[in-house]
Structure 1
């Protein structure tokens, strides 16, 4: 999962990052732009990896494996 942290004081938001890196960037933003104010805002989550591509689920992998097995069986049958 990836996270995007939003500042509670202004429009700043982090890019989609791992949770620890996003939290650190939000803290760095507060130290620089809003000194003396405790970090606030909200966190947005996405069920994607950090490159933004969706992960292939187990069922999709099973379908691909079955399709490949079927193609191999057909190819073996026509080879005789």
Structure 2
């Protein structure tokens, strides 16, 4: 089953520019996410992932994000 959800992260001050963040995401397992910018210092990622349940899809995405953007803090999870 496909699960749609959004993860919003507060970025570490040393993460670099938006281009740096996009580059890190493009080189990660989160390259399938749609990236959105809103509040300064934050990034939102919309996912549509196949998994047995939504919790499993969210958990995998958060693990992958921790690897892609070390120091980023998850501030919101929203189901679509």
What is the TM-score of this pair, normalised by structure 1?
0.37
Greater Rg over alpha carbons, structure: 1
Which structure has the highest helix share of the two?
A: 1
Which structure has the highest strand share of the two?
A: 2
Structure number with greater CO (CA < 8 Å, separation at least 6) is: 2
